[in-house]
C-alpha cells in the first residue's frame, strides 16, 4: 500500500468523521438541507473530477444525467407506484444505459467539440423535462414524490437522510480513490497527457474513456434519485445548463485533479449562495465576483490554495518557535 493511498484513506476517514458529527453542530433543519444538497453535489463533483481532472474529458451534460435519474425514479415511484428502492435502482440503471449510448459517439470528439456534444445532450434533456408535461409535470414541476425509504422504512427525519447520503458519499469517494490508485487510474492519467501515447502503451483508449464517463454519469444518477426522494418535488430549472456549468466550477475550483478539492468545491459552491442570501439584490454580483477572484488568486483551486496557506502558516510558526 503506497504512502499516497494511505494519505487518501486518512483523508476519507476525516471526511467521514466530520460528516457524522455535522448534524450535532447544526442548529436547525435548514442547515441540514444545505448539507444534504452539498453531499449530493459532492457526489457528482467527485465523478466529474475523475472524468475531467484525471481523464481530461470535459462534460457539460451532467445536469442532464442528474435530472434523468431524478425524473425516472419520481415517475416510477409516483405514477406507477413502484417501491422507492426499486425505482431508484431503475433510475440509476437507466442513467448508466443512456450514458453508454451518449458516451460511445461523443467521446470520439475532443475538447470543445466534446463540450458541445455533451452540452447539446444536456439541453435536449432539459427541454424534454420541460415539454413532456404529461410525464414530468412540465415547468411547474413534479410533485408528491414519496420520501426516501430503506428496506421498507421511510426516513422521516432529515438527520437520517443526511446520514444515508453522507455514508453513500464516503463510499463513492472510497471507490474513486481505489480507481485512481489502480491500473485504471494510471491509464486515465495517461489518456489525459496524450491519446496516442496511451494507445502506444497498450491502453484501450475508447473503453477507458467510456468507463470513466459512465462511472461519473452513474454518480450523478445516484445523486439525482436521492435528490428526488429527499425533496419530494423536482422542477426542470434544477437540471438546466447552468447547473452543468456550476458542477464544472466545483471541480475546477477544487483544483481539477484533487478528489478532496472537488468535495470542498462542491460544498463551497452550495453554501456560498446561502451565505450571500443576506445581501439579497447583490447576491448574484458577489457570487460572480468571488468566482473570478478565486480563479485569479487561487489558480490551483481551493485545495491548492489552502495547502499553500498551511505551508505559509507552518513556516511562520517555525520562525516564531525558533525566535522564541
Measured from the CB atom, the residue of 87 and 130 that comes closer to another protein is 130
Which of 250, 267, 309 shows the shortest CA–CA distance to 38? 267
DSSP letter assigned to residue 142: B
* Shortest CB 50 distance to another protein, Å: 15
- Give backbone dihedrals phi and psi of 142, rounded to 5 degrees, phi first: -105, 120
Q: Does residue 68 contact residue 222 with C-beta atoms inside 8 Å?
A: no
Q: Does residue 5 contact residue 177 with C-beta atoms inside 8 Å?
A: yes
Measured from the CB atom, the residue of 93 and 272 that comes closer to another protein is 272
Cα(13)–Cα(165) distance, rounded to whole angstroms?
Answer: 16
* Shortest CB 200 distance to another protein, Å: 8
Cα(69)–Cα(296) distance, rounded to whole angstroms?
Answer: 35
* Shortest CB 303 distance to another protein, Å: 14
Q: Does residue 32 contact residue 155 with C-beta atoms inside 8 Å?
A: no
Question: Cell numbers 456560498 label which residue?
Answer: 272
Measured from the CB atom, the residue of 1 and 296 that comes closer to another protein is 296
The rounded radius of gyration (Å) of the Cα atoms in the chain is 20
* Shortest CB 131 distance to another protein, Å: 5
* Shortest CB 251 distance to another protein, Å: 9
Measured from the CB atom, the residue of 179 and 298 that comes closer to another protein is 298
Measured from the CB atom, the residue of 120 and 141 that comes closer to another protein is 120
Helix intervals (H) in the chain: 3-25, 29-48, 62-78, 84-106, 111-131, 133-136, 158-180, 183-193, 195-200, 205-231, 241-253, 259-276, 283-297, 301-323
Positions in the binding site for another protein (CB under 8 A): 105-106, 108-110, 112-113, 115-117, 119-121, 123-124, 127-128, 131, 194, 196-197, 241-242, 245, 248-249, 252-253, 256, 281-292, 295-296, 299
- Give backbone dihedrals phi and psi of 144, rounded to 5 degrees, phi first: 70, 30
Measured from the CB atom, the residue of 138 and 141 that comes closer to another protein is 138
Q: Does residue 247 contact residue 59 with C-beta atoms inside 8 Å?
A: no
Measured from the CB atom, the residue of 63 and 222 that comes closer to another protein is 63
* Shortest CB 8 distance to another protein, Å: 23
* Shortest CB 296 distance to another protein, Å: 5
Amino acid at each position: 500500500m503506497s504512502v499516497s493511498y494511505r494519505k487518501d484513506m486518512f483523508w476519507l476517514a476525516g471526511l467521514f468523521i466530520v460528516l457524522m458529527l455535522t448534524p450535532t453542530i447544526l442548529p436547525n433543519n435548514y442547515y441540514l438541507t444545505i448539507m444534504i444538497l452539498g453531499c449530493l453535489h459532492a457526489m457528482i463533483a467527485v465523478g466529474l473530477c475523475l472524468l475531467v481532472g484525471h481523464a481530461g474529458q470535459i462534460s457539460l451534460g451532467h445536469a442532464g444525467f442528474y435530472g434523468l435519474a431524478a425524473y425516472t425514479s419520481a415517475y416510477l415511484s409516483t405514477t406507477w407506484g413502484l417501491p422507492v428502492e426499486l425505482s431508484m435502482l431503475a433510475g440509476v440503471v437507466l442513467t448508466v444505459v443512456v450514458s453508454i449510448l451518449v458516451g460511445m459517439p461523443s467521446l470520439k470528439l475532443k475538447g470543445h467539440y466534446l463540450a458541445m456534444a455533451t452540452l447539446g445532450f444536456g439541453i435536449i434533456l432539459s427541454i424534454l423535462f420541460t415539454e413532456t408535461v404529461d410525464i414530468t409535470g412540465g415547468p411547474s414541476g413534479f410533485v408528491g414524490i414519496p420520501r426516501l425509504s430503506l428496506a421498507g422504512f421511510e426516513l422521516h427525519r432529515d438527520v437520517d437522510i443526511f446520514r444515508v447520503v453522507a455514508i453513500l458519499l464516503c463510499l463513492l469517494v472510497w471507490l474513486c480513490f481505489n480507481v485512481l490508485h489502480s491500473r485504471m487510474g494510471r491509464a486515465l492519467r495517461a489518456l489525459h497527457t496524450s491519446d496516442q501515447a496511451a494507445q502506444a502503451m497498450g491502453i484501450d483508449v475508447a473503453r477507458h474513456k467510456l468507463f470513466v464517463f459512465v462511472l461519473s454519469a452513474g454518480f450523478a444518477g445516484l445523486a439525482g434519485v436521492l435528490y428526488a426522494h429527499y425533496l419530494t418535488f423536482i422542477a426542470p430549472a434544477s437540471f438546466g445548463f447552468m447547473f452543468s456549468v456550476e458542477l464544472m466550477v466545483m471541480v475546477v475550483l477544487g483544483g481539477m485533479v484533487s478528489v478532496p478539492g472537488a468535495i470542498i468545491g462542491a460544498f463551497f459552491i452550495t453554501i456560498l449562495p446561502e451565505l450571500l442570501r443576506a445581501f439579497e439584490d447583490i447576491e448574484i454580483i458577489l457570487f460572480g465576483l468571488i468566482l473570478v477572484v478565486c480563479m485569479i488568486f487561487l489558480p490551483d483551486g481551493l485545495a491548492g490554495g489552502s495547502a499553500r496557506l498551511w505551508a505559509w502558516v507552518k513556516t511562520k510558526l517555525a520562525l516564531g518557535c525558533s525566535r522564541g
